[in-house]
Amino acid sequence: MVRYEGKTVVNLEVNGELHQLAVRPSDLLLDVLREQLGLTGAKPGCKNGDCGACTILMDGWPVKSCLVLAVEAEGHRLLTVEGLGGNAPVQQAFVEANAFQCGYCTPGFLMVCYGLLMQHPTLPEEYVVEEWLQSNLCRCTSYREIRKAVKQMYQKK
Amino acid sequence: MIPFDFIYCRPDTMEDAYQAFVQLQTEGKNPYYYAGGSEIITMARAGSIRPGAVIDLKQIPQCRVLSLDSEELHLGSVCTLNEVKESKLFPLLALACGRIADHTNQCRITLGGNLCGTIRYRETCLPLLLADASVTLFGRQGLRTVPFTSVFDGRMRLDAGEFLVQVHVPRKALQAPHYHIKQTASEKIDYPMVTVAALWQDHFLRVACSGLCAEPFRSAEMEAVLNAQNLSGADRVRKAVELLPQPAYDDVEGSAEYRKFVFQTILEALLEEVTHGPL
Ligand code: FES
Ligand code: FES
């Protein structure tokens, strides 16, 4: 049985690389990614599971990293927006569809859209896309363009 | 950030989980069983709970089961709402899971967490109440399997240190005609003003409800009037609304009167569906 008390070294696989990190059991994955690994793509917004700005993929499924303990992520594959590489079809689609304004929500949306593509390799029905996208908020209201980007992402892949 | 430290345990067996709980409690650590973590993390961050230890159940094989045999569907307590939904094995439960929080959170929130947590709606209980589900628990006496209703009266009533291992749903209920409607105050993703789930089984309409009263319920008296063939549809609905087991809930999301009005409207639509065929 794993038992962690106080600062402990854990191994986290992030974007295909294994990292040894000293964390407290109550440290949130979002904070560890940003403060220890410098992966500041995942953004703190509400830190309450509501806005989706902190979304990353865990084993191919989206999770809000503000609601995950870093110690829980051991043994799982984590993917942050940095792991997309900068020129992934989903990123190209967002640029071409002008699917952002201030960009604060964009990493979260990119990860949800990338997760959608992983789990539904062909464009699913409209209600499925809507269901996935409803997990994230965009205060600049780029929703229409984001929907367009999703369609373009499927054409590109 | 969570502004305090706690101990994190991840047992591999049910026995280890229970032993860890007892041990930590003896040490005065105020342990919590932990599954998806959404509720514990949010409440700890906000300072409304202060666990000295969390015991993560996600590594325990029996808690991860999702299987169907000739008799029942078995759902481990740490199955996420999304896993339950994607399995498509119990469509009514899938509908309930699909309306709790948002899709990304459904990939973390677990069936056990929804049932055993403190958020009062516990919407996954509705299909289980309707389907005559049973549950397997692990505690001081080891494993025990009991009817869901014997440990759930709007909230889970478990012995000290006991935890939910699995939920079992009889096959008969899985594909029965069903109905699920969730009314929120405004946004689609929100806690329910009123959620009604119904199942048509053995020519009898079963109905359970969340959001309307302080705790979710299924009421035999209410079902009796809803199924009374000698009454008109309007009379059945009127009498059913009078038979709430607790006062209607009254808060900023909706007054008691408004909740009752919404419930009445949902029942009218439900009976209409029943009249036109099996839901
Ligand atoms: S910061 Fe995680 S959901 Fe808002
Ligand atoms: S682009 Fe500004 S919040 Fe979405």
Same domain for B66 and B125?
yes
CA quadruple B17, B18, B22, B25: dihedral sign = positive
Same domain for B69 and B167?
yes
CA quadruple A31, A33, A37, A43: dihedral sign = negative
Residue A104 distance to chain B (closest CA, Å)? 18
The answer to the question of residue B164 being in a domain is yes
Contact residues of A toward B, CB < 8 A: 1-6, 24-28, 31, 47-49, 52, 55, 61-64, 66-69, 71-72, 112, 131-132, 134-136
Same domain for B80 and B165?
yes
| Complex ipTM > 0.95 | yes
CA atoms within 13 A on the CB side of A115: 30
The answer to the question of residue B104 being in a domain is yes
Query: What's the structural domain count of chain B?
Result: 3
Same domain for B102 and B148?
yes
Tens of pLDDT along B192-235?
A: 999 999 999 999 999 999 999 999 999 999 999 999 999 999 99
CA quadruple B153, B154, B156, B159: dihedral sign = negative
The CATH number linked to B73 is 3.30.465.10
Same domain for B101 and B170?
yes
Return the ligand number nearest the Cα of A62. Answer: 1
Q: Which of B143, B174, B205 is the last residue of a domain?
A: B174
Spell out the residues 6+ positions from residue A136 whose beta carbon is closer than 8 angstroms to its own.
A51, A52, A53, A55, A105, A108, A109, A112, B104
Return the ligand number nearest the Cα of A139. Answer: 2
CB distance B9 to A3 below 8 Å: yes
Same domain for B84 and B25?
no
Q: Which of B102, B187, B188 to mutate to test the interface with A (most CBs of A within 10 A)?
A: B102
The answer to the question of residue B2 being in a domain is no
Domain coverage including residue B35: 7-58
Same domain for B133 and B45?
no
The contacts found for A151-154 with CB under 8 angstroms, 24 or more apart, are A151/A123, A152/A92, A152/A93, A152/A96, A152/A97, A153/A89, A153/A90, A153/A93, A153/A113, A153/A117, A154/A117, A154/A122, A154/A123
Helix H or strand E encompassing A154: helix A143-156
Of B192, B148, B196, B194, which is closest to residue B168 (Cα–Cα)? B148
Same domain for B205 and B262?
yes
The answer to the question of residue B1 being in a domain is no
Q: Please report, as a single letter, which amino acid is at residue A127.
A: Y
Same domain for B92 and B154?
yes
Same domain for B206 and B194?
yes
Helix (DSSP H) and strand (DSSP E) numbers for chain A: 5, 6
CA angle B262, B267, B272 (to 5 degrees): 130
The answer to the question of residue B85 being in a domain is yes
Alpha helices in chain B (DSSP H): 14-26, 38-46, 81-87, 91-98, 103-106, 111-116, 125-130, 148-151, 171-174, 220-226, 233-242, 256-275
Pocket lining: A31 vs ligand 1, CB cutoff 6 Å? no
Same domain for B53 and B86?
no
Tokens standing for residue B82: 């999304």
pLDDT in tens, chain B (279 residues): 999 999 999 999 999 999 999 999 999 999 999 999 999 999 999 999 999 999 999 999 999 999 999 999 999 999 999 999 999 999 999 999 999 999 999 999 999 999 999 999 999 999 999 999 999 999 999 999 999 999 999 999 999 999 999 999 999 999 999 999 999 998 889 999 999 999 999 999 999 999 999 999 999 999 999 999 999 999 999 999 999 999 999 998 899 999 999 999 999 999 999 888 766
Q: Which of A33, A35, A47, A61 to mutate to test the interface with B (most CBs of B within 10 A)?
A: A61
The CATH number linked to B239 is 3.30.390.50
Tens of pLDDT along B227-273?
A: 999 999 999 999 999 999 999 999 988 999 999 999 999 999 999 99
The answer to the question of residue B96 being in a domain is yes
The answer to the question of residue B239 being in a domain is yes
Tokens standing for residue B36: 């998806």
The CATH number linked to B29 is 3.30.43.10
Query: φ, ψ for residue B232 (rounded to 5)?
Result: -75, 165
Same domain for B84 and B49?
no
